[in-house]
C-alpha cells in the first residue's frame, strides 16, 4: 500500500477475547446470546470484609497456553490476558505474522489500571520482608504500557506501539487511535484493544469507598449487574481482555483475510465536568456520538444497534440514555441498545474492546445480545434495551460507546461492507 494514500478504508479481520464468558470469540458470543452471566462471588481474594463481594472473573485460565512459563512468572495477570487475547485474534484472523512487514505492524493495547495485582503483592513483600525481597520485575510488570510492549516483542511488531490509559474508555480509544494511525499511513495493520485484571483487595476497597459498586445482591451475584433497571445500585467489576485486528482493506484483501466489517468512525472528547461523574446533561457524550457519526460519514438513522456503556450505576445509565436521545431523536426509540456488562461485568479499561467484539458479531450474524436483569423499568431510561432475551434483526451499522473517570468519552462506529 502507498502509505500516503488518503483515508484508506479500514477493516476488522480478527477478534480475540478472554472473559468470564469464554476464552475465545465463539464461546463468548454464544454465551452472550444465551443471556448467560459470568458474575459470581469473588474468588481471587476473601471478599467477606467488603461491601461488594461479586465479580466476573476469568476462570480456568492457563497463561502457559499463550506464553513461556518464565514469561508468565515475569508478567502481571493483565499482560497474560492481553497475550491470550492477541493470539486468539491472530488465530481468528488467520494472520501469519511472519509474512508481515514488521515495521508497519503496530500494537496498541491499553489498560485502565495496569498491574494492580503486582503492585499489591510486591508492596506486601516490601512491608513484610524488606526492600531486597521486592522482585526486579515489579516495575515492568505493573506499568500500564507493558502489555503492548510484551505482545509486540513476542510478535516482532516494530510499528506504532504504546499503552493508552483513559479509565473505562481506554480500549475504545486504543481501537480508535489505531484507525487514525492506519488512515494517516503510519501502519498497515494494528492489534488494538485493552486488558484488565483488577479484582484485588485495594481496587475493591477503593471502589467500595466511592460507593460505585453493587452491594445489594451479594447473595445473588448473577442478578447484581442490572443496567437501566430502576433498582440498579452500582457496577460489578470484571476482568479479561479484548483485542481486534485492524488493517486497510487493501492489506486484508492482499492476504486473503476474512473481513468482518468496516471500522468507519471514531471520536473522543471530555465532559470537563467532574472526575468521576458524567455531565448529567449528556452534552459532552452527545457531542462525541455526533462526531463519531460525522467521522464515519453516516446519519444517525443508519445506526441499528448501540452497545451501551451501561454500567448499572444510577448516573451513567440515565446520562447515556439522555445523550442517545439528543443525538438520535425519534430514531432513539427505534434502534436497539443493550448493555453486555449485565453479563460480563465491567472490565474497566478492557470494556470497550469486548463490546466492540460483540457489536462486530451483531453486524455479522443479525443476532443482538440482551440486557439481562432488566426487571423494573425506569422512567428516565425508556429506550429499547433488548430486555432479557436476544433478538434477531439485520444491522448494517452499529455504535459502541464508553465513558471513563476524568470525563473521557469515546465512540466507535462499525459498518457492514
Q: What is the pLDDT of residues 203-224, one digit of tens each?
A: 999 999 999 999 999 999 999 9
pTM of the model: 0.97
Residues 39-62 have a mean pLDDT of 98
pLDDT of residue 1: 42
Given a contact cutoff of 8 angstroms between Cβ atoms, the answer to whether 194 and 162 are in contact is no
Q: What is the pLDDT of residues 98-115, one digit of tens each?
A: 999 999 999 999 999 999
Order of all β-strands in the sheet with 397-404: 161-162, 105-110, 189-196, 240-248, 10-18, 261-270, 408-415, 397-404, 305-307, 336-338
What's the Cα-to-Cα distance from 194 to each of 229, 303, 368, rounded to whole Å? Answer: 28, 25, 23
**H or E element: which one contains 262?**
strand 261-270
pLDDT at 158 exceeding the cut of 80: yes
Considering the chain, what is the average pLDDT of its residues?
97
- Given 23, 173, 309, 408, which residue is catalytic? 309
- 256's CB contacts (< 8 A; 6+ apart) are none
Residues 18-45 have a mean pLDDT of 98
Q: Could you tell me which of 22, 32, 58 has the C-alpha nearest to residue 43?
A: 58
Rounded CA-CA distance 285/317 in Å is: 12
Q: Could you tell me which of 372, 369, 366 has the C-alpha nearest to residue 397?
A: 366
Q: How does residue 127 score in pLDDT terms, banded at 50, 70 and 90?
A: very high
Alpha helices in 163-264 (DSSP H): 170-184, 201-210, 249-254
Burial class (CB in 10 A: 0-12, 13-18, 19+), 233: middle
pLDDT at 274 exceeding the cut of 90: yes
What b/e readout covers 35-49, taking b as 16+ CB neighbours within 10 angstroms?
A: bbbbbbebebbebee
Residues 278-303 have a mean pLDDT of 98
- 187's CB contacts (< 8 A; 6+ apart) are 104, 105, 106, 159, 160, 178, 181
pLDDT at 3 exceeding the cut of 80: no
**H or E element: which one contains 246?**
strand 240-248
- Given 168, 208, 288, 381, which residue is catalytic? 168
**H or E element: which one contains 193?**
strand 189-196
Among this protein's residues, is 346 annotated catalytic? yes
Rounded CA-CA distance 142/356 in Å is: 26
Q: What is the pLDDT of residues 216-261, one digit of tens each?
A: 999 999 999 999 999 999 999 999 999 999 999 999 999 999 999 9
pLDDT of residue 7: 83
Q: What is the pLDDT of residues 351-384, one digit of tens each?
A: 999 999 999 999 999 999 999 999 999 999 999 9
Given a contact cutoff of 8 angstroms between Cβ atoms, the answer to whether 245 and 263 are in contact is no
Residues 117-137 have a mean pLDDT of 98
Among this protein's residues, is 168 annotated catalytic? yes
pLDDT of residue 2: 45
Given a contact cutoff of 8 angstroms between Cβ atoms, the answer to whether 335 and 304 are in contact is yes
Residues 63-71 have a mean pLDDT of 97
pLDDT at 78 exceeding the cut of 80: yes
Given a contact cutoff of 8 angstroms between Cβ atoms, the answer to whether 88 and 18 are in contact is yes
pLDDT at 142 exceeding the cut of 80: yes
Rounded CA-CA distance 55/236 in Å is: 6
For 286, phi then psi, to 5°, come to: -60, -40
**In this prediction, what percent of the chain has a pLDDT beyond 70?**
99
pLDDT of residue 376: 98
Alpha helices in 185-307 (DSSP H): 201-210, 249-254, 283-296
Rounded CA-CA distance 275/18 in Å is: 29
Q: Kindly report the length of the chain.
A: 417
Cβ atoms within 10 Å, residue 234: 23
Residues 90-94 have a mean pLDDT of 98
- Given 23, 173, 346, 408, which residue is catalytic? 346
Q: What does the DSSP 8-state code read for residue 102? A: G
Q: How does residue 6 score in pLDDT terms, banded at 50, 70 and 90?
A: low
How does strand 189-196 pair with strand 240-248?
A: antiparallel
Q: How does residue 5 score in pLDDT terms, banded at 50, 70 and 90?
A: low
Among this protein's residues, is 208 annotated catalytic? no
Rounded CA-CA distance 15/30 in Å is: 14
**In this prediction, what percent of the chain has a pLDDT beyond 90?**
98
Burial class (CB in 10 A: 0-12, 13-18, 19+), 317: buried
Amino acid at each position: 500500500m502507498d502509505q500516503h494514500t488518503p483515508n484508506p478504508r479500514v477493516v476488522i479481520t480478527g477478534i480475540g477475547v478472554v472473559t468470564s464468558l469464554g476464552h475465545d470469540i465463539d464461546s463468548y458470543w454464544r454465551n452472550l446470546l444465551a443471556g448467560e452471566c459470568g458474575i459470581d462471588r469473588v474468588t481471587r481474594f476473601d471478599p467477606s470484609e467488603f461491601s461488594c463481594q461479586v465479580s466476573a472473573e476469568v476462570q480456568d485460565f492457563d497463561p502457559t497456553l499463550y506464553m513461556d512459563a518464565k514469561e508468565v512468572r515475569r508478567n502481571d495477570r493483565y499482560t497474560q490476558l492481553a497475550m491470550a487475547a492477541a493470539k486468539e485474534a491472530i488465530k481468528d484472523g488467520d494472520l501469519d505474522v511472519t509474512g508481515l512487514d514488521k515495521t508497519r505492524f503496530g500494537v496498541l493495547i491499553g489498560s485502565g489500571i495496569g498491574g494492580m495485582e503486582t503492585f499489591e503483592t510486591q508492596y506486601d513483600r516490601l512491608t513484610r520482608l524488606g526492600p531486597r525481597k521486592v522482585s526486579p520485575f515489579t516495575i515492568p510488570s505493573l506499568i500500564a504500557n507493558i502489555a503492548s510492549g510484551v505482545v509486540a516483542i513476542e510478535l516482532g511488531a516494530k510499528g506504532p506501539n504504546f499503552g493508552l490509559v483513559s479509565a473505562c474508555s481506554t480500549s475504545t480509544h486504543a481501537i480508535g487511535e489505531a484507525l487514525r494511525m492506519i488512515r494517516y499511513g503510519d501502519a498497515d495493520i494494528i492489534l488494538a484493544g485493552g486488558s484488565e485484571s483488577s479484582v484485588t483487595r485495594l481496587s475493591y476497597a477503593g471502589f467500595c469507598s466511592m460507593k460505585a459498586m453493587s452491594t445489594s445482591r451479594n447473595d445473588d451475584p448473577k442478578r447484581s449487574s442490572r443496567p437501566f433497571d430502576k433498582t440498579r445500585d452500582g457496577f460489578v467489576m470484571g476482568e479479561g481482555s479484548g483485542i481486534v485486528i485492524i488493517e486497510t482493506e487493501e492489506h486484508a484483501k492482499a492476504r486473503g483475510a476474512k473481513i468482518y466489517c468496516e471500522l468507519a468512525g471514531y471520536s473522543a472528547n471530555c465532559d470537563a465536568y467532574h472526575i468521576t461523574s458524567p455531565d448529567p446533561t449528556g452534552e459532552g457524550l452527545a457531542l462525541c456520538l455526533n462526531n463519531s457519526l460525522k467521522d464515519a460519514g453516516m446519519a444517525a438513522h443508519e445506526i441499528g444497534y448501540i452497545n451501551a456503556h451501561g454500567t448499572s450505576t444510577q448516573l451513567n445509565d440515565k446520562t447515556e440514555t439522555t445523550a442517545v436521545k439528543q443525538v438520535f431523536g425519534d430514531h432513539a426509540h427505534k434502534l436497539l441498545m443493550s448493555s453486555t456488562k449485565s453479563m460480563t461485568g465491567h472490565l474497566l479499561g478492557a470494556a470497550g474492546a469486548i463490546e466492540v467484539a460483540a457489536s462486530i458479531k451483531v453486524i455479522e450474524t443479525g443476532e443482538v445480545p440482551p440486557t439481562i436483569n432488566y426487571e423494573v423499568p425506569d422512567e428516565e431510561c425508556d429506550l429499547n434495551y433488548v430486555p432479557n432475551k436476544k433478538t434477531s434483526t439485520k444491522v448494517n451499522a452499529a455504535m459502541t460507546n464508553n465513558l471513563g473517570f476524568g470525563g473521557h468519552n469515546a465512540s466507535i462506529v462499525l459498518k457492514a461492507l
